[in-house]
Structure 1
Amino acid sequence: MSAALLTPSRQVAVREDWLALTREEILDPALPIIDPHHHLWDHPGERYFLDDLLRDTASGHDIRATIFVQCGAMYRAEGLEEERPLGETEFVTGAAAQSATGQYGPTRACAGIIGMVDLTLGERAGALLDAHRAIAGARFRGVRNRTAWHPSPEIRSNLTTPPPGPLEHPGFIEGARQLAQRGLTLDIWSYHTQLPRVLEVARALPDLTIILDHVGGPLGTGPFAGRRAEVFPVWRQSVRAIAALPNTVVKLGGLAMQVNGFDFHLQDRPPGSEALAEAWRPYIETCIEAFGPGRCMFESNFPVDKGMCSYAVLWNAFKRLAAGASAEERTALFSGTATRTYGLPSSLSTSPAK
């Protein structure tokens, strides 16, 4: 793969001119959507701020609100190491306040905020959770740690390479228990090779809502390149085991990352929604069958997934994948599960579109 197509974090580089080559009519434009997973950041050669997000959400789908998820943005430059992620919550709270004025369009960006607290701190994590909530108020809905890890140097999806933990760290469970005590949630981004450990964490914390990001990370690069048929049943078995626990939820998306092994970004033209739906159907349908629509939510994972497809095409693909669902099931998949899981005001998805 050409190095020019990858960012320093090994994400597929966004090429707006290339994305513009494929345009589609918006399917079911009146369907309310809560986008439960996106980032904002300013990294070398990778800038995605509120205005960039709102240009994408204004592409024709009815995006009522979004949820920001931890990505290491705007940490404080000074102070205790464990307190520096408070800077990210401060930054995103500001973006949410801008959006809430209504001056930048109808979408309520960052209506929920998933921040970063090092859960390996155990009980000490509680005070940090309270500090994040003091900044963001009711918008602060949970945390995510850097957990996706594989020993192969070819497999990387974080700006920095985390250690093999923290899921295995002895203090992680106690730190995560602080979330449950405060009615907060835990997002976990792991590769399919780590799903047995995710299962152990979910079993140990039955009172904590655990959200499995990006359909559980089926790998398709490095030592797993060209082995999709072998990986799929292993991934599926783990996903079904996690879904058997009622405190788990899954995000449907994130499959346009380089680590998943799809190569749409290498084509002359970006994919249309039919091609995306066909490629991703086995993973999406497996998750919906295992968890049920009431514990599944479609996600954009932008701007990461933007390296392979546009926002408009991505949500068209999701709508194609949900074409056989009932009206009630579609509501759950596109807004209801996200609203309930993250404790968002129901008015965000039920009020008339502006």
Structure 2
Amino acid sequence: MDDWRARFLASGDDADLPIVDAHQHYFDIEAHCYPWLNDRPLRPFRYGDYSSICRSFLPQDYRRLTGQHRIVQTVVIEGEWDPATPADEVDFIESLARQEPTLVAMVGQVWLDREDAPSLLREYGKHPLVRGVRHKPTVTTREDWREDFVAPGSMRDPRWREGYARLAANGLHFELQAPWWHLPEAAELARDFPDVTIVVNHTALPADRSPEGLAGWRDNLALLAREPNVALKISGICIPGQAWPVEANRVVVNDAISILDVSRCAFASNYPVDGVVNSLSEVLDGFKTIVRDRSRADRLALFHDNARRIYRLT
């Protein structure tokens, strides 16, 4: 891996660029239950009809799609496995890691406001693959959100925060997936628990590309970026009905990097979920195109070095 890193720094050629995919998923829907994939009717989703990905997706499927891109390591994020047995997903991913050398870390599912959270966090903290956890907090629509928003399972819910307070002691970080208008709550969380790193998923979901929508996204992301214990994964920015739109996504990518700085951003594929709209190569080629004029060190940081640091990879 260090050889590819040195080779890229010498050549600057995208073909030599080593990539750590900081956000991808594996599913086996024949053997295991993922309610959002197995149940019918399908749920509302920001990309629309996602029936095309309601199938198993395993390491051999991922490898087949990587094309010319040099994926050297990946981080598997919990895939909304049956919430009754979240630890079983860790066992499943561990079984895949024994056969897939690029699979080197994962993020487990937890429900921070449940009674089993303390024991689950202790178990995850001892597991060699698990680096952090994800519990999508309760959110509301942009129109209904208020500055004093509190709901069961939200980032301001005292019971939810009791679970969150146990992360640092177990050596775990938190993966946050929430729309950008909830980032003020995340900023409070970052301040109140400075020993816990928050890794924001999917660029804080800038789905509304209107001038007003992008302005709100920028302002809230800048608010959160004031907290030093925050990182951002630039992923999940496909636009329904469009091949990966470099021009439409350029502003999102560049603004995100400008707001948080190169050192706190990492690219990721969100595959196979983003396969609803685009191929894996289209996603990675789009990111490469947008940052092609940046320095070799910056490109290496965005595609490789930052993810290795955030997820403590060896």
TM-score category of the 2 structures, normalised to the smaller one:
0.7 to 0.9
1:192–1:219 contact (8 Å) kept in structure 2:
no
| 1:67-216 alignment, distance < 5 Å | 67-73=75-81, 75=82, 81=84, 84-100=85-101, 108-109=102-103, 111-121=104-114, 125-134=117-126, 137-147=127-137, 149-151=139-141, 165-216=153-204
**Aligned CA distance change for structure 1 residues 219 and 315 (closer, same or farther; 3 Å):** closer
**RMSD value over aligned CA atoms?**
2.2
**Structure 1: gaps spanning 5 or more residues:** 1-26, 101-107, 153-162, 221-226, 257-261, 266-270, 346-354
Q: What secondary structure, in the 3-state scheme, does the structure 2 residue paired with 1:99 have?
A: coil
User: Is 1:329–2:298 an aligned residue pair?
Assistant: yes
Percent of aligned pairs with the same amino acid: 30
Q: Residues 169-318 of structure 1 correspond to what in structure 2 (within 5 A)?
A: 169-220=157-208, 228-256=210-238, 262-265=239-242, 271=243, 276-318=245-287
* Alignment gaps of 5+ in structure 2: 1-12, 30-36, 39-50, 143-150
Which of 15, 20, 24 is residue 29 of structure 1 equivalent to? 15
1:263 deviates by: 3.0
Amino acid of the residue matched to residue 139 of structure 1? L
Between the two proteins, the alignment pairs up a number of residues equal to: 272
The amino acid that maps onto 1:38 is Q
2-structure distance, mates of 1:185, 1:250: 13
- Matched to 1:304, the amino acid is V
In 1: Cα distance, 2:187 partner to 2:264 partner: 16
4+ residue segments displaced more than 6 Å = none
For residues 13-28 of structure 1, the aligned pairs below 5 Å read: 28=14
How far apart are the structure 1 equivalents of 2:65 and 2:121?
31
The within-5 A match list for 1:39-50 is: 39-41=25-27, 42=29, 43-44=37-38, 46-47=54-55, 48-50=57-59
| Structure-1 separation of matches of 2:124 and 2:167 | 12
- In structure 2, distance between residues paired with 1:178 and 1:52: 36
Q: Shift of residue 121 of structure 1?
A: 4.0
Offset at residue 133 of structure 1 (A): 4.4
- The DSSP-based 3-state class of the residue aligned with 1:120 is coil
What TM-score does the superposition give when structure 2 sets the normalisation length? 0.80
